[in-house]
Amino acid sequence: MRGRPQVTIVGSGRVGTACALFLMMRNLCDIRLIDVVQGLPQGEALDISHAASILGIDVNIEGSNDLKDVEGSDIVIITAGFARKPGMTREELAIENGKIVKEICEKIREHARESIVIVVTNPVDIMTNVALKVLGFPRERVIGFSGILDSGRYRYFIAKRLGVSVRSIEAYVLGQHGEKMIPLVSNCRVCGIPIVKILPQEEIEEIRRRVIKAGEEIIKLKGWSASHAVGAGVSELVEDILKDRRKLENVSIMLRGEYGVDNVVAEVVAVIGKDGVVKVVELEMSEEERKAFQESIEWIREVTGKVLVSLGLA
């Protein structure tokens, strides 16, 4: 990448704005916000620019209502889409958001063919598959954001229970970003000590339950879905790429034989660098975890197939 990197965020709602804010605070790149709502991305860009000025950060932030302005982007982050409404199934949400992601990716393919695309729109595993189909990019350059959020929540709940720093905890989540996710116990460690040697099984299961239900808990408490944690996680992923950190991250990516799975996007652990995903790291699982993982994969495969057919991408 030459000069100062350009990161474009498509969607200027709570999540897109949180992503822009955290990126500004890290001073990693110039930022462009794009949204269909007239004035919204321009207003958010101006507001965040004022915040940058107060913090003494020199960064160029601009807004646009034209998807052609993804041109020149090193990274494009897709946050645009609907939130799930009462009575709406995940499949119905996937079809509606799939239409939006498809349109966005057609413009990215036309105007930013060399970019790395980070998909945040839910259901993220399925939307990442839609993006891959439309873009035609290598899987390494189309990354679903989800696992960083889920594993961050996992570490938080363990840290709170034990009264230790989250930096002391190694915890990963595999499978679907949703109710069929698998917060791994067999690979969960605190200062290198297996979690099963520190906490009783019933407490571990309660923590796992809270991880799975965390998004639902946040919506119930504040009336809308998480945004701050998403912005923090996306900015971490962007820094991994722009600084070629080769850091292990929980992300959603198209599997090509890893874990014995092919042609399904799911949460796994991968090394992230300047070209996107460097490699997928396969973690050991217990028999129970492996069975749950396969069930999660089959759910993703089934719903993805229906969505791709509905969008004419199958």
Long-range CB contacts for residues 193-199, cutoff 8 Å, separation at least 24: 195/158, 195/171, 198/162, 199/161, 199/162
- Is residue 52 within 8 Å of 24, Cβ to Cβ? yes
Three-state DSSP at 24 gives: helix
The yes-or-no answer on residue 50 being catalytic is no
Give whole-number Cα distances, 171 to 130, 150, 177, 190, 194, in Å.
28, 10, 15, 9, 10
C-alpha closest to that of 186 among 284, 291, 290: 284
Task: Phi first, then psi: give them for residue 104, nearest 5 degrees.
Answer: -65, -45
- Burial of 156-193, coded b for 16+ CB within 10 Å and e otherwise, reads bbbbeeeeeeeeebbbbbbbbbbebbbbbbbbbbbeee
Q: Catalytic residue among 50, 111, 177, 228, which?
A: 177
Residues involved in catalysis: 177
